Amino acid sequence: MPTDKDTKPNTANVVYEVDGILYEGFWSKAADTAPLVLLAHAWGGLTEYEKTRATMLSELGYNVFAVDLFGQGVHPTEVEDKIQHMNTLLGNRDKLRLLMDAGKRAAQESGGDLSNMILMGYCFGGAAVLESARAGMDARGFVSFHGALATPEGQDYALTQAPILIFHGIEDDVVPMSDVDDLAVQLESHHVPHEIITYGGAPHAFTVFGTQNYHEQADQQSWHTFMDFLAENTK
């Protein structure tokens, strides 16, 4: 677990290539030996919101690499465009896994310690994190904040060997509680250590400050629980 608290992180945009296409992640460094958090963005691409969260984590002593899943400079703002970019990857799970793996490698090249890594994601990023969990990515834990939770047909959690933490709003009108229930059954059947926390009154995207969906209590409580999870599962 981190020893340097309240540090001022060093940050940088990191350009890397996947299958001839450029992607641009965000590196926020706390210390050479700090645990690594691999952060996956929501359906709007890698934005200032994810960069702010990365910096917040680094100020608490964690190195963070925010992966880019859409491509350098791709930050859709219209709902139709967001859906198109998200569904392109949700419909091509092999590519989604490839991009998460590429982000992991870019994090390592930036100085991240893959042996001491937690994955976390927001909304669409939560789906990307769970995809990595099902793929058996070597990590110390997987965390989803108001993420998509449905498991694609033919997939399961048989290869997942690290704990999973799920934060979900009861008033989420995008991800139904039936998906939460199904996920719990799957994780239990494969003996995956997990915790699923729901927040009454919290809508989808309840952590995104400055929006109408922001739910302060759920945001603060989930963040504190996430901090405990990081401390318990990293070294």
What tens digit of pLDDT does each residue of 142-167 get? 999 999 999 999 999 999 999 999 99
Tell me what pLDDT residue 9 has. 78
Tell me what pLDDT residue 221 has. 98
Q: Is 2 among the domain residues?
A: no
Total of domains in the chain = 1
Q: Is 77 among the domain residues?
A: yes
Q: Region 132-147: what's the mean pLDDT?
A: 98
Tell me what pLDDT residue 170 has. 98
Q: Is 202 among the domain residues?
A: yes
Q: Is 1 among the domain residues?
A: no
Q: Is 4 among the domain residues?
A: no
Q: Is 142 among the domain residues?
A: yes
Portion of the chain with pLDDT greater than 90, in percent: 96
How far apart are the C-alpha atoms of 46 and 229, rounded to whole Å? 24
Reply yes or no on whether the pLDDT at 1 is more than 70: no
Residues in a beta bridge with 156: none
- In 60-174, DSSP assigns E strands to 63-66, 117-122, 141-145, 164-169
Note down the domain range covering 226. Answer: 10-233
Q: Region 21-47: what's the mean pLDDT?
A: 97
Tell me, yes or no, if the pTM score tops 0.85.
yes
Reply yes or no on whether the pLDDT at 232 is more than 90: yes
Tell me what pLDDT residue 67 has. 98
Q: For the segment 175-230, what is each residue's pLDDT rounded down to a tens digit?
A: 999 999 999 999 999 999 999 999 999 999 999 999 999 999 999 999 999 999 99
Residues in a beta bridge with 28: 11, 64
Q: Is 55 among the domain residues?
A: yes
Mean pLDDT of the chain: 96
Tell me what pLDDT residue 4 has. 42
Reply yes or no on whether the pLDDT at 81 is more than 80: yes
Tell me what pLDDT residue 12 has. 96
Tell me what pLDDT residue 56 has. 97
CATH for 151: 3.40.50.1820
Tell me what pLDDT residue 7 has. 57
Residues in a beta bridge with 169: 199
DSSP code for 151: P
Q: Is 62 among the domain residues?
A: yes
Q: In what order do the strands lie in the sheet with 36-40?
A: 10-18, 21-29, 63-66, 36-40, 117-122, 141-145, 164-169, 194-199
Provide the pairing of β-strand 63-66 with 36-40.
parallel
Tell me what pLDDT residue 5 has. 45
State the helix-helix crossing angle for 79-90 and 93-110, rounded to 10 degrees: 90
Positive or negative, the CA dihedral 108, 113, 119, 121 is negative
